[in-house]
A and B are shown apart, each in its own frame.
Chain A
């Protein structure tokens, strides 16, 4: 079963606007959540993470929000830039064990 779900396969936004990527999970044991960015023909690269004891983490233009009661997290990119165009994967793990990934959301930022 897919424990981490990204229900939007694609998202298109205008340069300068906000991009919001969403992720839902089913396993309440998950205690660490991450976002990865992937360009074609490359491996995923780590973007930002959040522990389950927090509800928000910021790093420059990127902010991750965690709503544990809803088992939902989101990634906000403000302002969006054309170089942000990539596939974004949400991931989760618990007790430092194996990491589960969502199916990914393809973000396109239009100039």
Chain B
């Protein structure tokens, strides 16, 4: 049981480049979420999904897209990276009611 896995662990982008952060879970959880962690801001919700084919916006969705074609995978896409998107990104999955399992994180730097 690998839990929640994220790739890559580190990434450096130039402004305007696009990329996809990968997230996968093998616990058959319905709920999956993406968060970003910034100093003094805690964890802020970007997008979340309550099941395959269903996604919704969180607190800070601008500049990010998601899709959920399978229960296992929940990729996060940056279409045109900006320096403000420099952050540590965490993917999480959960069952009901609420305990979430987090991945190890992806540290993204946008130059």
The residues of A with any CB-CB pair to B shorter than 8 Å are 2, 4, 6, 9, 32, 34, 36, 41-46, 49, 51, 89, 91, 93, 96, 98-104
Contact = CB atoms under 8 A, between A and B. Distances in A.
**Residue among B40, B58, B102 with the highest chain A CB neighbour number at 10 A:** B102
Contact of B4 (A32, A43, A99): A43
B102 A99 contact: no
A42 B48 CA distance: 21
A89 B42 contact: yes
B42 A44 contact: no
Given A43-B90, A101-B35, A102-B42, A96 B96 contact: yes
B98 A32 contact: yes
Contacts of A32: 97-98
Interface of B: 4, 33, 35, 40-45, 48, 56, 58-59, 90, 92, 96-105
Nearest to B101: A46
B59 A42 contact: no
B80 to A, nearest CB: 25
A45 B44 contact: no
Given A89-B43, A104-B42, A42 B100 contact: no
A98 B33 contact: yes
A91 B33 CA distance: 14
B98 A101 contact: no
A96 B17 CA distance: 35
A44 B104 CA distance: 8
A6 B45 CA distance: 17
Nearest to B3: A43
